Amino acid sequence: MHYDTIKNEHNLPHDPFKAIVAPRPIGWIGSRSKAGIYNLAPYSYFNAIADRPHFVMFSSVDIKDSVKNIEETGDFTVSLATEDLFDHMNGSSVPAGSEVDEFELAGLKPQIGKFVSAPFVSEAAAALECKHWKTIDLPNVDRKLGKGNYVIFGQVVGIYINDKFIKDGLFNASAARPLVRLGYMDYGVVGSENTFSKNRPKLGKDGKLEAVKEWDGVYR
């Protein structure tokens, strides 16, 4: 099949876009309102976009509490959503009023960041502490009604890691078992059973690819 996404006439039960662009990491965003109410919500339009300095982004369909809090206070966190916290993460996704503390609702303990004033999930294997850089309004938004798509960029100014997930000086993601978002209501888990390592090759003097036996820690 081949269809026009503007008309979105795919003749399928559900839009397949998110199922094709998968897996996606889950940005479990923690924030605090000016009134001091904690907010926690998962976003599947999330990723790291730079590391010198460290930046992440997530996007929200409509201006939800996360966006409002971040724009007002300038701080947010990203907790790592893992297999053991799936039900808590899923529970925090429920639509709720701005007066509701999703940490409490989902049975989680908040911890205020060391570098920002926003809370993260204390039970998480890792968390990023972020300062709001800017929000980009995608085309056809209506800020007065809070409708449309908004992309929030943040600089990571601090990182928390539970020490039990550090092995040989590396963060052991396979042991943490991060959740990933697929399409529809589907999820996946990153674990030792589906991860592997392979060094990137180098270009030899003869112009052919050569294998690299040991990684030097530099991403090329």
At 219, the pLDDT band (50, 70, 90 cuts) reads: confident
CB 84 within 8 A of CB 177: yes
Three-state secondary-structure class, residue 213: coil
Q: pLDDT for 113-169, tens place per residue?
A: 999 999 999 999 999 999 999 999 999 999 999 999 999 999 999 999 999 999 999
Domain that holds residue 90: 17-210
Q: pLDDT for 41-59, tens place per residue?
A: 999 999 999 999 999 999 9
Count: domains in the chain: 1
Between CA 29 and CA 20 the distance in angstroms is 24
CATH of the domain at 116: 2.30.110.10
CB 31 within 8 A of CB 48: no
Q: With respect to residue 190, please indicate whether it lies within any of the assigned structural domains.
A: yes
Q: With respect to residue 220, please indicate whether it lies within any of the assigned structural domains.
A: no
